[in-house]
Structure 1
């Protein structure tokens, strides 16, 4: 599987973000084979057609649509590059988190590290115009870089992420708070770090030093689900990634994801997805063979 690494000194100096217009150099951004990156990505499509496979789902690309990809998240992009307009934004977490002294910053955004809701967003013409204007300012600063450009770019990026978080939260009826109880953001972080070996609410409560009642209250408010449902949906996503993009047997996947036996994984998957892991894998492979 191909891995794209962030180029820190692409412009001859260190800049932990980048932004381009698709229409100026569209060929380099889309990979039709499964791949990962070691940075955050946002595709901002003003005009586009095609589809993106992300999080085990194939999503149709449309005009005025945004896609949000977290580091090391498997994806593939089949996009018609002949008539495409928009922006490709990439950044490393430290570009913002170090400056704001907030390592949980990306976890405050509902669209990153989200296994419960689609990692895409449709916006209106008015909303897109604000996005386009903000990103155009960022592009201009990169192209005409000065001593204080990093501060301007960082401010514009933070503004963009917060504004889009409000739109995303509204579309999926989620909390748009980014400065609420830090436990919920630590819970999101813990899921990413430990989902392969920790599957119960009690384990996360112990890790976070919080009661079940407290975690239940803040998780339902911010994520729209109970902690148990949140854990199960994230675990389901992890199983799907193994089924789709590895050659491991069901038994091997069960061992890697800390299930006591393969039958327990199969029952868990069947209960949430409605089909067995083997059927899910076969359906995906059959669909790919038809393309």
Structure 2
């Protein structure tokens, strides 16, 4: 198979407090304040969460390898390090945005697995958006307004207040997301499911057996699987395969590695095993998948 070359340069956009004009790794504002930012780079990724609360929308965004049609009253929930390509008329968009880095909350929130409790964080089975009723959107705007007011007029306890409001907002959105997609919101009996997701982010390229993750956590595979099913509504094996597939698709589409190099990178014993896994999960060969993507067929 020929080497796959990404014709567009992927730009990494870090959170810049100076550019945002704030003292913290968080900001919120209106579309008119940042018109042009979404299409400044053809393809880019960020190191922060980006939420968009659309009142009026047009066009679509390619998120990694998925096409998301933008609609009025949509709340788009983008996680860090996802590749974005916006096909929109920015002048016609009307939205409020919220951007923040995960580590912004760490001083205040002791739960280091908090973001993994958010069902929309790096979700692979359900879309990274939901639609908000007028009263829901009004509540989101009220909370974002409180954050903006503190950013504009910071005082001694501004950080604590902003994190408190942000925490509340994220949980409220999580409830709405769970309701929209009928996902479980069980009170966790342990952190195994969230630790599993954390370990997946760190080791998915080199560790692809649930038993190995269970060993890392020093629990049985059955205990780990039961915890994952209770929290996310899918098995540990399904979660692992979907996360692995997500990583493979990104590398396939946006890197210069060939099949042999990908097999080495992801610790497959042979390129044929990698291709077999991909075909089982997608129903397509690597070549078919790339050709479809280049022809505007996104999944």
TM bucket, shorter chain: over 0.9
Aligned equivalent of 2:5: none
- 1:222 has 2:253 as partner: no
1:140 Cα deviation (Å)?
Answer: 2.0
- Structure 1, 30-39 or 6-15: larger mean CA deviation: 6-15
CA RMSD of superposed structures (Å): 1.9
> Per-residue displacement from partner, 1:87-144 (whole Å, max 9, x unpaired)?
2211111211221122211111111122222112122222111111111221222122
Q: Which has the higher contact order (CA 8 A, sep 6+)?
A: 2
The more displaced of 116-125 and 214-223 is 116-125
Post-superposition shift, 1:69?
A: 2.0
- Indicate the residue corresponding to 2:69 in structure 1: 60
Aligned-pair CA distance for 1:151:
1.9
Contact 1:22–1:87 (CA<8 Å) still a contact in 2? yes
Contact 1:97 1:105 in 2 (8 A): no
| Distance in 1 separating the partners of 2:22 and 2:77 | 26
CA–CA distance in 2 between the matches of 1:2 and 1:11?
18
Residues of 2 paired with 1:10 and 1:80: CA distance? 23
Q: Which of 44, 66, 72 pairs up with 1:35?
A: 44
Corresponding residue of 2:256: 247
Q: Distance in 1 between matches of 2:171 and 2:213?
A: 27
Provide TM-score, normalisation by structure 1. Answer: 0.93
Tell me the residue number matched to 2:151: 142
Aligned 1:1-291 pairs, distance under 5 A: 1-9=10-18, 14-31=23-40, 33-177=42-186, 180-287=189-296
C-alpha distance in structure 2 between counterparts of 1:60 and 1:32, whole Å: 19
Write the deviation string for residues 178-232 of structure 1: whole angstroms up to 9, x where unpaired: 7552111111111111111111111110111111111111111111111111100
Unaligned 5+ runs, structure 1: none
1:139 and 1:47 map into 2 onto residues whose CA distance is 21
Contact 1:17 1:91 in 2 (8 A): yes
Q: Secondary structure at the match of 2:269?
A: coil
SS at match of 2:239: helix
Separation (CA, whole Å) in 1 of partners of 2:194 and 2:106: 14
1:280 partner SS? helix
Number of aligned residue pairs: give it.
Answer: 288
Taking the aligned partners of 2:207 and 2:183, their CA distance within structure 1 comes to: 25
SS at match of 2:55: strand
- Shift of residue 11, structure 1, vs aligned partner: 6.8
How far residue 246 of structure 1 moved from its aligned partner, in angstroms, is: 1.4
Distance 2:286 2:132 in 1: 35
